[in-house]
């Protein structure tokens, strides 16, 4: 029988890598020693030379149900044959309405409306624009200030970049949006080091919002946006009580609270959304990545009914919100989203993540004591491992070397944020595979000592 595996039939490797300017990539280093992927199934990627790489990153926090889910690819293929494209402005497809209802059903009560876009970045910018527009139509047009958080990541649009707090992502892009301010990060290594789950210390970081209100005036502030767990900066779980306190202060001052759940949505923290885990209801909640298991680009914003309803005024032939994308609620993404939600439900993957969380945390903590490990943080099926920089002027080099060693020498994919290793495997992971990943990560950490 013909062996169709990529190992038997390696994919042709391109002979010229120059034209593709890769995103968020060290292009020159990559092109000297490429990491090229050809296939994926369940917990593994398959490289162009046929190696099986265990995926400790869910691609990029996307493939919560694991790779190569035929239920999703068949749904996409069927939709592509039936309806390739439909205009989302003034026309609709049944699947978009069904998907919105199912997403709203999964979300905490009160978040009842979904605005679709194509990525986490678009979701962040959409939420920020809805916040500004809401205050405008609500007679509070002076509320234009947007507040993010140091070390926050909300994608790469101008809005998301402006409220984001990762310095390297901001500093070469000019003045970004005017009138933005930032809360402090919620991390203190001395007080929180090597914590499993939400640290006890740090709820008071939310109180800084009162200082920003005193500084700027509540009547100038439109919204606060935070990730319930800061992911891209290297996994910083919210301190106990922090999000509740942020909710209380925002509510007191009429400021909208936006949770960016692009990473934490769809099971990463053991619930459909982190808002549920923390019992905090934001005014808006952004999602992307896991909604389609990464199989088609899609993002969106869940919106409180009070905000949505405020727009439903004026002549009925008029567009209520002058915002949207050519590919909002694209048929292929809707098909992928519906099939993905079926899998999450049928395989109880959010519950599975919740059940595995203590074992995962224990396993990651076994890496404590290895060379250069400064801290380990875990929450849900996610962990951040801080390694010491190689030198003051070589920040990020040990992390980069770790990613290279993982891929080339240990058949492991992990994500890095500077010198922090981020582990965030698909929720289908077995206990044995958790052990296998930790063995490999241990080897990698020793290899870059
Ligand atoms: C919290 C958060 N918001 C927004 C984004 C941006 O998403 P995208 O890359 O799909 O634009 C990301 C991506 O990692 C993210 O982690």
Under the banding of pLDDT at 50, 70 and 90, the label for residue 5 is: low
- Does residue 124 line the site of ligand 1, with CB under 6 A? yes
Distance (Å, whole) CA 214 – CA 235: 30
Position in ligand 1 atom list of the atom nearest CA 289: 10
- Residue 144: other Cβ atoms inside 10 A: 18
* Percentage of the chain modeled with pLDDT above 90: 96
Going 288 to 26 to 150 to 164, the CA torsion angle's sign is negative
Those residues with Cβ within 8 angstroms of residue 8's Cβ, 6 or more apart along the chain or in another chain:
50
Q: Which of 58, 155, 284, 294 to mutate to test the pocket of ligand 1 (most atoms within 8 A of CB)?
A: 155
Position in ligand 1 atom list of the atom nearest CA 230: 1
pLDDT surpassing 80 at residue 293: yes
Distance (Å, whole) CA 37 – CA 15: 15
Position in ligand 1 atom list of the atom nearest CA 160: 4
Position in ligand 1 atom list of the atom nearest CA 118: 10
At residue 369, the pLDDT reads: 98
Those residues with Cβ within 8 angstroms of residue 58's Cβ, 6 or more apart along the chain or in another chain:
64, 294, 424, 425, 426
Report the pLDDT averaged over residues 80-104.
98
Run of H or E including 420: strand 420-423
List, for residues 113-171, the tens digit of each pLDDT value. 999 999 999 999 999 999 999 999 999 999 999 999 999 999 999 999 999 999 999 99
Contact between 223 and 146 (Cβ < 8 Å): yes
Question: Alpha-carbon dihedral of residues 76, 79, 85, 91, nearest 10 degrees?
Answer: -120
Q: How far is the CA of 370 from the centre of ligand 1 (A)?
A: 31
At residue 177, the pLDDT reads: 94
- Does residue 155 line the site of ligand 1, with CB under 6 A? yes
Distance (Å, whole) CA 241 – CA 200: 8
Q: Could you name the CATH architecture of 27-65+349-447?
A: Alpha-Beta Complex (3.90)
Nearest alpha-carbon partner for 115 in 301, 313, 365, 348: 301
**Fold classified for 73-346:** 3.40.640
At residue 14, the pLDDT reads: 77
**What does the block give as tokens for 264?**
């934490």
- Does residue 227 line the site of ligand 1, with CB under 6 A? yes
List b or e across 163-193, with b for residues whose CB sees 16 or more CB atoms inside 10 angstroms: bbbbeebeeeeeeebeebbbbbbbbeeeebe
In three-state form (DSSP H/G/I as H, E/B as E, the rest C), the secondary structure along 142-171 is CCCEEEEECCCCCCCCHHHHHHCCCHHHHC
Domain range summary for the chain, segments of one domain joined by + = 27-65+349-447, 73-346
Rg (CA), the chain: 22
pLDDT surpassing 80 at residue 332: yes
**What does the block give as tokens for 28?**
């020159």
pLDDT surpassing 50 at residue 3: no
List, for residues 307-327, the tens digit of each pLDDT value. 999 999 999 999 999 999 999
- Does residue 260 line the site of ligand 1, with CB under 6 A? yes
Run of H or E including 117: strand 111-117
Distance (Å, whole) CA 239 – CA 141: 33
Report the pLDDT averaged over residues 18-23.
97
- Does residue 381 line the site of ligand 1, with CB under 6 A? no
Report the pLDDT averaged over residues 242-265.
98
Position in ligand 1 atom list of the atom nearest CA 232: 16
At residue 1, the pLDDT reads: 41
Nearest alpha-carbon partner for 73 in 299, 294, 266, 329: 294
- Does residue 121 line the site of ligand 1, with CB under 6 A? yes
Nearest alpha-carbon partner for 288 in 340, 236, 251: 340
Distance (Å, whole) CA 4 – CA 46: 13
At residue 11, the pLDDT reads: 65
At residue 6, the pLDDT reads: 46
- Greatest pairwise CA separation for the chain in angstroms: 73
Q: How far is the CA of 400 from the centre of ligand 1 (A)?
A: 21
Distance (Å, whole) CA 404 – CA 444: 9
Under the banding of pLDDT at 50, 70 and 90, the label for residue 252 is: very high
Contact between 416 and 424 (Cβ < 8 Å): no
**Ranges 91-95, 172-176, 323-327: which has the least confidence:** 172-176
pLDDT surpassing 80 at residue 299: yes
At residue 13, the pLDDT reads: 75
Report the pLDDT averaged over residues 64-92.
98
Report the pLDDT averaged over residues 68-94.
98
**Ranges 2-16, 168-182, 363-377: which has the least confidence:** 2-16
**What does the block give as tokens for 303?**
């919106």
At residue 185, the pLDDT reads: 98
pLDDT surpassing 80 at residue 12: no
Position in ligand 1 atom list of the atom nearest CA 157: 11
- Does residue 154 line the site of ligand 1, with CB under 6 A? yes
């Amino acid at each position: 029988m013909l062996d169709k595996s990529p190992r038997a039939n390696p994919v042709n490797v391109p002979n010229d890598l120059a034209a593709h300017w890769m995103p968020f990539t060290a292009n020159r280093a990559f092109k000297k020693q490429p990491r090229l992927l050809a296939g994926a199934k369940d917990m593994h990627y398959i490289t162009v030379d046929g190696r099986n790489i265990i995926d400790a990153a869910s691609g990029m926090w996307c493939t919560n149900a694991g790779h190569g889910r035929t239920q999703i690819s068949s749904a996409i293929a069927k939709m592509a044959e039936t309806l390739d494209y439909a205009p989302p402005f003034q026309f609709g497809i049944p699947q978009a309405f069904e998907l919105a209802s199912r997403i709203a059903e999964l979300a905490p009560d009160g978040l009842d409306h979904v605005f679709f876009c194509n990525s986490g970045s678009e979701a962040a910018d959409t939420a920020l624009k809805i916040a500004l527009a809401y205050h405008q139509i609500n007679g509070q047009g002076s509320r234009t200030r947007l507040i993010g958080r140091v070390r926050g990541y909300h994608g790469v649009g101008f809005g998301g970049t402006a409220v984001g707090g990762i310095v390297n992502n901001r500093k070469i892009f000019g003045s970004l949006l005017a009138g933005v301010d930032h809360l402090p990060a919620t991390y203190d290594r001395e007080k929180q080091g090597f914590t499993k789950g939400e640290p006890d210390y740090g709820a008071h970081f939310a109180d800084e919002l009162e200082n920003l209100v005193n500084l700027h005036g509540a009547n100038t502030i439109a919204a606060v946006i935070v990730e319930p767990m800061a992911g891209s900066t290297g996994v910083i779980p919210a301190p106990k009580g922090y999000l509740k306190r942020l909710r209380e202060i925002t509510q007191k001052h009429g400021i909208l609270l936006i949770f960016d759940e692009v990473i934490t949505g769809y099971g990463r923290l053991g619930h459909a959304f982190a808002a549920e885990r923390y019992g905090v209801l934001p005014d808006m909640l952004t999602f992307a990545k896991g909604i389609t298991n990464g199989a088609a680009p899609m993002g969106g914003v869940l919106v409180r009914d009070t905000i949505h309803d405020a727009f439903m005024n004026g002549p009925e032939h008029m567009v209520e919100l002058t915002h949207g994308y050519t590919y909002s609620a694209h048929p292929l993404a809707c098909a992928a989203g519906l099939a993905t939600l079926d899998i999450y439900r049928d395989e109880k993957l959010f519950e599975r993540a919740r059940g595995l969380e203590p074992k995962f945390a224990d396993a990651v903590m076994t890496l404590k004591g290895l060379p250069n490990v400064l801290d380990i943080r875990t929450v849900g099926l996610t962990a951040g491992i801080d390694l010491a920089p190689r030198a003051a002027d070589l920040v990020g080099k040990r992390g980069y070397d770790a990613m290279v060693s993982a891929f080339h020498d240990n058949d492991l994919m992990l994500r890095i944020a500077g010198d922090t290793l981020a582990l965030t495997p698909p929720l289908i992971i077995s206990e044995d595979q958790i052990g296998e990943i930790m063995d490999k990560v241990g080897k990698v950490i020793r290899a870059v000592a």
